[in-house]
Amino acid sequence: MKELVQYLAKSLVNNPDAVEVKETQGDTASVLELKVAKEDLGRIIGKQGRTARSIRTILNAAASRANRKVVLEIVEEK
């Protein structure tokens, strides 16, 4: 799942070297934290959150094949 999010994020941003994905696994669920460069945050979220919603949809479809739950958190650097 981590590789999928990394691939999608790197394809969308202008600065693919700044993409970081951290995965925390539980028994039945995983939490993925996505960090991108500050200027690329709008590209990942998209208008009205459409891009972020689409990434989450793709991720949940892939996770359901493995009988897992996945939560994607987009982390904003301060």
Query: What is the model's pTM?
Result: 0.89
pLDDT attached to residue 26? 84
User: How many domains does the structure of the chain reveal?
Assistant: 1
Q: Which residues span the domain enclosing 30? A: 2-75
Run of H or E residues at 29: strand 29-35
CATH number, domain containing residue 31: 3.30.300.20
pLDDT in tens, 43-77: 999 999 999 999 999 999 999 998 889 999 999 87
In terms of phi and psi (left: phi > 0; alpha: psi -120 to 50; beta: otherwise), the region of 75 is beta
How far CA 8 is from CA of 32, 37, 58, 59, 70, in Å, comes to 13, 15, 10, 10, 16
| CA 54 to centroid of chain Cα atoms | 10
- Percent of the chain clearing pLDDT 70 (strictly above): 99
